[in-house]
A = this chain, B = another copy of it.
């Protein structure tokens, strides 16, 4: 099934929401894709006719099996490119998303597979998100929790959630990376901000930012 860049981005957006158990409503998609709500309805009808999504008036859309397949392949493209740009060309964590979006759409399967091999079949991109293999199979799911939902203790960053315009370059500025060890010292009652320590340096981060940092407990 040939799919245009716009269709791939649309389906990938739905996938990203579904995977986090969020509803793919009109406005949400419109804002994620930076298009008008009318354009979303438009596209939804088209894709429903192609059997890629389930769509009923005034309800959030859902991927069909067929649509999921396309979305997984789009994610694969995106995440392999992100990994490649980061590992090979040393683009920073907050640049790779945008750059990948620009390039990815017309990547051939052949090139994609060569990139994957060159990168030695990575299972996760630099944000920690899983990369589907060429059959659309995801690596075994690790269960991380948002840092802000934990009690004081030591944690390792397993994933960092931020898409283009959602969060600023916080993570780049402070060089938070997948694999880093953080110590959660306490959570302030007043505003739910978190006092954390990394490499012996203390800092306070907002609850919102902490919710984007997914971690695993470290037994120390």
Contact = CB atoms under 8 A, between A and B. Distances in A.
A80 to B, nearest CB: 12
How many copies are assembled? 2
Interface stretch (A45-53, A86-94, A192-200): A86-94
B118 A89 contact: yes
Contacts of A89: 111, 114-115, 118
Interface stretch (A61-69, A98-106, A152-160, A179-187): A98-106
A107 interface: yes
Contacts of A90: 114
A115 B106 CA distance: 19
A164 to B, nearest CB: 13
A85 interface: yes
A98 B95 CA distance: 26
A108 interface: yes
A98 B106 CA distance: 11
A64 B174 CA distance: 47
Contact of A88 (B85, B99, B118): B118
Contact of A102 (B99, B106, B114): B106
Contacts of A115: 89
Contacts of A91: 111, 114
A114 B95 CA distance: 12
Nearest to A118: B89
Given A88-B88, A90-B114, A103-B111, 18 more contacts: A85-B111, A88-B118, A89-B114, A89-B115, A89-B118, A91-B111, A91-B114, A95-B110, A98-B108, A99-B108, A99-B110, A102-B106, A102-B107, A102-B108, A102-B111, A103-B103, A103-B106, A103-B107
